[in-house]
Chains A and B, each alone.
Chain A
Amino acid sequence: MATVAPTRQAEASGQPAGPRTRARRSGDGVAGYLFLSPWILGVLLLTIGPMLTSLYLSFTDYNLFTAPEWVGLDNYKRMFEDARWLKSVQVTAIYVAVAVPVKLAAALAVAVLLNNKRKGQGFYRAAFYGPSLIGASVSLAIVWKALFTDDAVVDRMLRVVGINTGGWAGNPDFSLMMLVLLGAWQLGAPMVIFLAGLKQVPVELHEAAHVDGAGRWLRFRAITLPMISPVVFFNLLLETINAFQVFTSAYIVGGPNGSPAGTTLFYTIYLYDRGFSDFRMGYASAMAWMLLLGVGLITLFLFRTARGWVYYSGDRR
């Protein structure tokens, strides 16, 4: 004990580290890991462990009750012959392709509006961010569904302008759109990031262009967009990955069968249904790994294309 105390004092007084101190540091390392242990245990037991288990299970037939049985690549092969799996891929792909651009465009538009200085700015920002705070809540999805049933708010408003679709919750042509709108409504997170990006755009560029006679739209397209392209890319990546994992709202609206008529059978819903209703954990695990693979490939693809359109200031390519 006695040897330790002076070292600590030495350290505190800023003396250069000697050999003795280094020995002390290795002790610090152990303590550091011990302090980290709740987190390390969490990662090992709650993330890496289950992931490896699910990787193993994906090569087995496992019904939750009896021991898993090795079947090799069967689960993966079967997916491509499974009509519902293909359907769920289709639904999810359409959703991602529509929901992500819609949400990003809405978030950017709102961010541009909120970037202007005006009275009550804080209030507006909070108001637009609000819906994102509720997140993937069950009650929100229930309310959303109620808004889109026969003779509810949306149906009535549409009829005023002469559009008669009935309740979207029961109409296979519109059910997915209803979830796209729900996603777009929760635009808070990308909006805040866009707003931060917009603040970084140098004012002098705008002023110079303005002097040269460039209009608002041209300035937005030629200056703002390129300048915030890294932020656009970041948001695109994040929202794409999130969109692949939609679950709660879709489950509340469409249930395990993806009602109406399978139009909301998201990949995650089908995965859950196979695993927990049909007791096919092996198949469900294989599906999860396919999803990971798919999202990984798309992320990689986005990174590749990013070289062509994302501009980092200070980049001298």
Chain B
Amino acid sequence: MGVMKRFTTVLAAASLVFAGAACGGDGEAESGPVTLRYSWWGNADRAALVQKAIDLFQTKNPNIKVTPSFQEFEAYWQKMATDTAGGNAPDVLQMDFAYLREYADRGALYDLKKQEGQNLDTGDLLEGLKGAGEVDDGLYAVPVAGNTWGYVYSPAAYATAGVPEPKLGWTWTDYRSAMEKITKSTGGKVYGGGNYIGTYYNLEVQLRQEGKLLYTEDGKLGFDKPRLAKFFEEGKQLADAKIVLPVEKGVQIKPKFALELDLIAGDLGWDNFMTRYAAATKTELKLGPVPSDNPAQLGQYLKPSMLMSVSAKSDHPEQSAKLIDFFINDPEAGQILGANRGIPATNAQRAAVKLEGPFAAVAAYEESIKGQLEKAPPAPPKGAGTIEQSFIRISEELQYGRISVDQAVDQFFTEANETLES
């Protein structure tokens, strides 16, 4: 009797172990509502808006349930990599332009061409965003919003320093001298700006203004060592002269931005960040054009600020496509999200959104340079995300004075080429 009893106890214990292991699978049965897992990056503000949009989607599609989850950008991609490798990717995932080719090439994404015209309508996308999610003839992502490079600044700081506010036609030399004057006018309490060599896209903008590309069509670096040396040299001089925010400040305030804390008078960046800055500071902010040494060429394009993809392993591609369709086309969804993720990607949503305050500023800014916006470059090569990280790190060491300009350039090329070759 006793042995029998003990044996069953053991069996029960053992089966518990196995049960635990078995729980990981997709338990959803065919009948009843389908559950979609949807992952995206962002912060709590955005989470509230996304949840509101999802609620609306569920009301309109009672047979589809959506379980969202989100992280900050960096953590998001680390989790996505492991989830995808483990065959546990969510049905619908937010995609970044820099990672699109990486995931598409490795067969991790579903080709949405199969859903186009059925559950997904991409016809209304803005001209500049059409084709942005294509990789080698497949449609692996759909842009949900677009943004472009801009200059967010405090007009009051410019007035105090006696510097005219930036307008179309101002050059990089004008930009640097504005930095210097503003920093001097506050006695270093507020800096003119951050060091622009800390951001990879500033290099891209400069290159495009010269008619070059960050990455060539065949996925190589679109610039040589002397060009990068020139870029780094500019920033090194700014850092040495202490006319831009010192790197040690920038490091300490992470993950916040200097503009949110009123440490600088303006900064170059994605125009939709205007909304984030405006929410964090009481200082009045404006959006102005990017400096360019070439009056005919701003070097800007409408970039898909966020895209949505469907995992190749998803059991519900139709429903997933419907969710994406809802996010890009539904006017009410557009109203809920506003310009939080960038300006909406379709004409219908753009028309539906009544933009106010900083959101309106972003829209007006994009309207003002509409004629200058070029077609987006092809999706960056595999490893673009890693290369950007290399750039940020190396630039930081340079600003700290730990390495020379030449060392920084060599190190970047070594790392970037190694990444591109693998």
Residues of chain A at the chain B interface (Cβ within 8 Å): 1, 4-5, 8, 27, 31, 34-35, 37-38, 41, 61, 63-66, 83, 149-150, 166-167, 169-172, 255-257, 259-262, 276-281
Contacts and interface: CB of A to CB of B under 8 A. Distances in A.
27 contacts: A1-B4, A4-B1, A4-B2, A5-B2, A37-B10, A37-B13, A38-B16, A38-B17, A64-B81, A65-B106, A66-B106, A149-B253, A166-B248, A170-B248, A171-B248, A172-B402, A255-B254, A256-B389, A257-B393, A260-B251, A260-B396, A260-B400, A261-B397, A262-B397, A277-B74, A277-B78, A277-B81
A166 B3 CA distance: 70
A34 B252 contact: no
Main secondary structure of the interface of A (DSSP, over half): loop
The 9 closest A-B pairs by CB, nearest first: A170-B248, A65-B106, A64-B85, A34-B10, A261-B400, A257-B393, A170-B252, A276-B78, A149-B252
B118 interface: no
A259 B252 CA distance: 9
A8 B3 CA distance: 10
B92 to A, nearest CB: 19
Interface string B391-422: 01100110010100000000100100001001
A64 B17 contact: no
A166 B249 CA distance: 10
A112 B129 CA distance: 70
Given A278-B386, A279-B81, A35 B13 contact: yes
A276 B385 CA distance: 12
A22 B332 CA distance: 77
B2 A31 contact: no
Interface of B: 1-4, 6-7, 10-11, 13-14, 16-17, 74, 77-78, 81-82, 84-85, 102-103, 106-108, 247-249, 251-254, 383, 385-386, 389, 392-393, 396-397, 400, 402, 411, 414, 419, 422
B77 to A, nearest CB: 7
Given A34-B13, A34-B14, A260-B248, 5 more contacts: A31-B3, A169-B251, A170-B249, A170-B251, A261-B400
A37 B248 contact: no
A61 B6 CA distance: 48
Contacts of B106: 63, 65-66
A167 B422 contact: no
Contacts, number: 105
A8 B2 contact: yes
Given A65-B84, A172-B402, A260-B396, A38 B3 contact: no
A239 to B, nearest CB: 29
A172 B414 CA distance: 24
A257 B392 contact: yes
B422 A280 contact: yes
A170 B399 CA distance: 12
Given A8-B2, A277-B389, A261 B10 contact: no
Contacts of A83: 411, 414
A26 B168 CA distance: 89
Nearest to B21: A45
A31 B252 contact: no
Contacts of A41: 17
A65 to B, nearest CB: 4
A225 B330 CA distance: 75
A85 B61 CA distance: 51
Contacts of B253: 149
A65 B419 CA distance: 16
B397 A277 contact: no
A257 B395 CA distance: 11
A23 B4 CA distance: 16
A275 B74 CA distance: 14
Nearest to A39: B17
A38 B1 contact: no
Contacts of B17: 37-38, 41
A276 B77 CA distance: 8
A257 B254 contact: no
Nearest to A32: B10
B1 A5 contact: yes
Contact of B107 (A4, A8, A65, A169): A65
B248 A65 contact: no
Contact of A31 (B10, B247, B254): B10
A169 B11 CA distance: 54
Contacts of A150: 248-249, 252
Question: Which of B3, B14, B108, B251 gathers most chain A CB within 10 Å?
Answer: B251
Given A169-B252, A256-B389, A4 B85 contact: no
Nearest to B105: A65
Contacts of B252: 149-150, 167, 169-170
Contacts of A256: 74, 389
Contacts of B108: 65
A170 B248 CA distance: 4
